[in-house]
Structure 1
Amino acid sequence: MTRTVDRRVAAPPRRLARRPRAALRIAHVVLAIGWTGLAAVMLVLPAAVLLQGSDAGFAIPTMALVGGGVIPFFAVGTVLTGAALGIGTPWGLFRYRWVVVKTVLALAVIAGSVTLNSGWIDAAATDPSLLWPLLLSSVLHQVMLVSASVLSVEKPWGRLRRG
């Protein structure tokens, strides 16, 4: 009985050329900074209303506009450019722990925004006490987004093990 050995070598990871990679990285960083800044707006608006005890008349529509119309563009753009960078660079999508954690954080912020904040913003128009959960979720989102930025800079934990 003859045994055959598969001698195929795994293809090297695809790499983007220098200029497209730089353009994609710049787009990713700008979108991520924008997303983090917009998340800060979502933190400051309910905080201002709650701390000053003022009317939420301006804050609620502004939060609805920012949270429902502007943030999704930046969030999806950040995730898509990050995925493209992962595919087009040696970092990959599932090679390094920091990339996986960063992706999970981004997706968790998106899921939290969609499931929690959108309903709370609409309900806060009639019940201002719902500004507290909005404030707390905005703090959590800010921590998660800043953590993702730190992971991008520090790149801790090394590679994932191959099975």
Structure 2
Amino acid sequence: MSTTDRTETRSGPEADRGRPAPSRTPGPAAAAAPSAGPPAAIRWAYVMVIVATLAAIASNVFEIAHQVETGAAGAATTGDLVLTIAFCALFGFFAEMLRAGRQWGRVMLTVFTALGILFTGLGLAGIGGRVFVGVLQGSLAVLSLIASVVGLVLLFVPSANRWMAAVRGSSRTIPQRLRKAVLTAHVAISVGWLGLVTGMFAMSVAGATTHSAEQQASMYRTMSMLDEIFLGMTSMFALISGIVVAAGTKWGLLQRRWVAVKFFMTMSVMLLGFAVIHQLILEANELVDAHAPVRGGELDTVGWSMAGAAAVAVLSLVFMTAVSTYKPWGTTRWGRRNTSRPVH
């Protein structure tokens, strides 16, 4: 008898209501697993995530204090402070969801731990992004990096995988009200991200084509303000809300191709903004402050490079909007494997 046949001939409340039981109803062991508590690997991963988060936050606080002491504090400092508070709350929430056996909590921690490792590594290597000031801030960054790597490994050891699989049936999805609230926030933030990048594309073209030094300086300084205050925050929260909506619902994060494509494209556009657009904006403003020629010099190259990168970002975001609307393609190999998994 097939899995479907076994499911449809069950007796009990499901049969009394006249509809078949779900094909992946967890058995007694799965139902009892949450009460037994998470294994040691999950508990230690939780500790490592908290340690890494606190070290990263402390490092960020030292940087903000340094900006205040040197008089370099401004609107970007306020944005850093807001992000620090937000990430403190978010990582604490996702860590608790991990300990409760929520698969989407593990997905969120995995993604942002990996991002933290990437950006911290780039910072320590001096390749773009923030520069670590002093031995103490650098030591905190190294501590955060080591704890993140250890925590990420512990999240996927065999005992953690077995426990997450056991509780997945009863704790995979987020509540309906929370799903709608997060989906609303995701759509609003994504629209704001698209509008922000489109505006920056228009300003970069204006800066690359004008013959007025004053207008060019105004365009690039406005772009710098938007980049420092809004761009990173908007893209980050678009990614967070998108992952929650995907991993915490029936769609899954990597089970359908259109969702997976959106996820990887979002990460790519974020990296494009961090590693390319942000650096070009800094370079353009340095040239403007050095009174470089408006036309016929290095500003031309930087301006058109910035416009090209912004155009790629705009087209990518429009494409992701279309993908969300049409939901093309089918399931991934992982998605097919999960849906065909037999009931034990």
TM beyond 0.5: yes
Question: Quick one: distance in 2 between partners of 1:136 and 1:153?
Answer: 26
1:128 maps onto 2:286 in alignment: no
Structure number having the greater helix percentage: 2
The equivalent of 1:148 in structure 2 is: 320
Superimposed CA distance per residue, residues 41-74 of structure 1 (whole angstroms, 9 cap, x where no aligned partner): 1101011223333321111111111122201111
TM-score, with structure 2 as normaliser: 0.43
Gaps of 5+ in 2: 1-25, 28-164, 288-297, 338-344
Letter in 2 for 1:19: R
- Report deviation, 1:118: 1.5
Instruction: Name the residue aligned to 2:120.
Output: none
Tell me if structure 1 keeps the 8 A contact 2:172–2:249. yes
Query: What is the CA-CA distance between 1:146 and the residue it aligns to?
Result: 0.8
- Tell me, in whole angstroms, the C-alpha distance in 1 between the residues paired with 2:310 and 2:223: 11
Partner of 1:5: none
Q: Quick one: which of 221, 226, 230 aligns to 1:61?
A: 221
Q: Is contact 2:182–2:241 with CA below 8 Å preserved after alignment?
A: yes
Say which SS state the counterpart of residue 254 (structure 2) adopts: coil
SS at match of 1:92: coil
1:45 corresponding residue in structure 2: 203
Separation in structure 2 between the aligned mates of residue 16 and residue 119 of structure 1, nearest angstrom: 38
Q: What's the counterpart of residue 107 of structure 1?
A: 267
Equivalent residue in structure 2 for 1:24, among 182, 185, 188: 182
Cα distance in 2, alignment partners of residues 81 and 22 from structure 1:
11
Q: Deviations over 1:91-134 (max 9, x none)?
A: 01110011111011111111011111122111112142211000
Counterpart CA distance in 1 for 2:211 and 2:176 is 52
Shift >6 Å, 4+ stretches:
none
- Give ranges in structure 1 of 5+ residues lacking alignment: 1-7
State how far apart, in whole Å, the 2-side matches of 1:37 and 1:53 are: 26
* Matched residue type, 2:212: S
* Correspondence for 2:247 among 75, 87, 90: 87
Question: Percent identity over the alignment?
Answer: 26
> What amino acid maps onto 2:197 in structure 1?
A
**Structure exhibiting the larger radius of gyration computed from Cα positions:** 2
RMSD over aligned Cα atoms: 1.7
More displaced 10-residue stretch of structure 1: 14-23 or 150-159: 14-23
Stretch moving more, 45-54 or 95-104: 45-54
> Partners in 1 of 2:211 and 2:318 — Cα distance?
29
**AA matched with 2:299:** P
Contact 2:204/2:306 (<8 A) preserved? yes
2:174, 2:264 → 1: CA distance? Answer: 24
What amino acid does structure 2 have at the position aligned with 1:26?
Answer: T
Code of the residue aligned with 1:43 in structure 2: it is: F
Q: What CA distance in whole angstroms lies between the structure 2 residues aligned with 1:120 and 1:161?
A: 39
Partners of 1:34 and 1:120 lie apart in 2 by 22
1:36 paired with 2:194, answer: yes
Counterpart code for 2:190:
A
Q: CA deviation at 1:18?
A: 2.1
- The worse-fitting range, judged by mean Cα deviation, of 63-72 and 134-143 is 63-72
Which structure has more RCO (C-alpha within 8 Å, separation ≥ 6)?
1
- Secondary structure in structure 1 of the residue aligned to 2:191: helix
Give the whole-Å Cα distance in 2 for the aligned partners of 1:149 and 1:53: 35
